Structure 1
Amino acid sequence: MKEKKLGLMSLILMIFTSVYGFNNIPRSYYLMGYAAIPWFVIAGILFFIPFAFMVAEFGSAFRNETGGMYSWMCKSVGPKYAFIGTFMWYTSYVLWMVNVSSGIWVPVSNVIFGKDTTATWSLFGSHFLSGSRLLGIMAVIFFIVITYFDSKGIDKISTVTSVGGTAVLTINIMVVIGSIIMIIARGGQLQQPFAGFESLKTPLNAAYQGSPIAILSFIVYALFAYGGIEAVGGLVDKTENPKKNFPKGIVIAALVIVVGYATLIMLVGSFTNYKQILGNDEITLGNVSYVIMSNFAAEIGKAFGATPATQLALAHGFARVYACIMLLALMGAMFTLVYSPLKQIIDGTPKELWPGKMGETAEGGMPKNAMWIQCTIVSVMILLISFGGDTMQQFFLILTAMVNVGMTVPYMFISFAFPKFKKMKDVDRSFVVFKSQASANIWGYVVTLTLLFANAFAIIQPALDGDVKTTFWSLSGPVIFGFVAWVIYTRYEKRILAQGDGVSGSSEEVSEEPVAQTE
Structure 2
Amino acid sequence: MESTKKNFISWPVLAMMGFVTVIGFEDIMYNFKNQGMGVITSWVIMMILYVAPYSLMVGQLGSVFNSEGGGLSSWIRGTNNEFLGYFTAWTYWAASIPYVVDTAQSVIVGFGWAFTGDYKFQAALPNSEFTLLTFIVFVAFIFIQRHLSNSMEFLSTLGGIAMFAMTVLFILMSVTGLVQSGGHMATQPMNIHTIFPTFNLKYLTTIGLLIYAINGCELIAPYVTQLKKPKTEFPKAMLTLVLMTTFLTIFGSFSLGIFFDANHLPNDLKMNGDYYAFQALGKQYGVGNLFMYIYAWTAVVYMCARLAVLLDAMTRMLISDTGSKYMPKFLRKKNSAGLPVNGYILTTVLSGFIMLLGVFLPEMNDIFNWLLNLNGIISPGVTCWVFYAFMRIRKNSSKFQSDYVFIKNDKIAYGFGLFLLVVTAIATVFSVTPQDVTAYSGTWWYELIINIVAVIILIGLGAILPLIRKREEKYGDAFDRLQWISMITLTVVAIISMVWLGGAGHFIAIAVIACAYFLLVWLIGRRQPAMVQEQD
> What TM-score, normalized by structure 1, do the two folds share?
0.84
Q: Is residue 2:253 matched to residue 1:265? A: yes
Given the alignment, which residue of 428, 431, 439 partners 1:465?
439
Partner of 1:72: 75
Instruction: Show structure 1 runs of 5+ residues with no match.
Output: 122-129, 204-210, 302-313, 500-519
- 2:141 aligns to what? 146
Match of 1:253 in 2: 241
Give, in angstroms, the shift of residue 56 of structure 1: 1.2
2:530 aligns to what? none
- Secondary structure of the equivalent of 1:195? coil
Give 1:192's match in structure 2, choosing from 178, 187, 195. 187
Which of residues 53, 60, 63 in structure 2 aligns to 1:57? Answer: 60
CA distance in 2, matches of 1:331, 1:490: 36
Q: 1:298 aligns with which of 261, 280, 283?
A: 283
Mapped to 2, the partners of 1:376 and 1:236 lie a distance apart of: 37
Supply the AA of the counterpart residue of 1:248.
K
Residue number in structure 2 paired with 1:31 = 34
Q: For 1:458 and 1:428, how far apart are their aligned partners in 2? A: 36
Alpha-carbon contact 2:209-2:375 (below 8 Å) kept: no
Report the Cα offset of residue 266 of structure 1: 0.6
**In the alignment, is the contact (CA less than 8 A) between 1:402 and 1:473 conserved in 2?**
no
1:216: which partner in 2?
Answer: 204
Deviation at residue 427 of structure 1 after TM alignment: 2.9
* Structure 1 range deviating more: 334-343 or 111-120: 111-120
From 6, 10, 16, the equivalent of 1:13 is 16
Q: Is the 8 A contact 1:351 1:360 kept in 2?
A: no
Partner residue of 2:273 out of 262, 276, 288:
288
Deviations 1:255-278 (A, max 9, x none): 221232111111221233346xx6
Q: Distance in 2 between matches of 1:389 and 1:430?
A: 51
- Which residue of the partner structure matches residue 104 of structure 1? 107
Partners of 2:320 and 2:434 lie apart in 1 by: 39
Q: Does 1:94 align with 2:97?
A: yes
State the 1:50 CA deviation.
Answer: 1.8
Greater share of helix: 2
The equivalent position to 2:335 in structure 1, one of 362, 382, 386, is 362
Q: Counterpart in 1 of 2:308?
A: 335
Judged with a 3 Å threshold, the aligned counterparts in structure 2 of structure 1 residues 52 and 452 are, in CA distance, closer, same or farther, namely same
- Write the letter of the residue equivalent to 2:247: V
Asked if structure 2 preserves the Cα contact closer than 8 Å seen for 1:406 and 1:477, the reply is: no
Tell me how far 1:331 sits from its aligned partner.
0.2
Question: For this pair of structures, how many residues does the alignment match?
Answer: 468
Range with bigger deviation, 229-238 or 360-369? 360-369
Do the aligned residues in 1 keep the contact of 2:123 with 2:364 (CA within 8 Å)? no
Provide Cα deviations, 1:97-137, integer angstroms capped at 9, x if missing partner.
Answer: 2212223211111111101123443xxxxxxxx42221001
Partner deviation per Cα, 1:143-170 (whole Å, 9 max, x = no partner): 1111122356765344322332232122
Gap regions ≥5 residues in structure 2:
477-536
Task: Give the match for residue 357 of structure 2.
Answer: 384
Counting only pairs closer than 5 Å after superposition, residues 448-463 of structure 1 correspond to structure 2 as 448-460=421-433, 462=435
The residue number in structure 2 matching 1:512 is none
Mapped partners of 2:468, 2:272: distance in 1? 43
Pair 1:264–1:92, CA change in 2 (3 A): same
Would the aligned equivalents of 1:49 and 1:250 in 2 still touch at CA under 8 Å? Answer: yes
CA distance change for structure 1 residues 478 and 52 in 2, over 3 Å: closer, same or farther? farther
Match of 1:171 in 2: 166
SS of 2:433's equivalent?
helix
* 8 Å CA contact retained: 1:104, 1:330: yes
% identical aligned pairs = 16
Aligned residue among 351, 368, 371 for 2:324: 351
Letter in 1 for 2:392: K
Tell me if structure 1 keeps the 8 A contact 2:63–2:70.
no
Deviates more, 1:231-240 or 1:186-195: 186-195
- What's the TM-score, normalizing by structure 2? 0.81
Per the alignment, residue 480 of structure 2 pairs with none
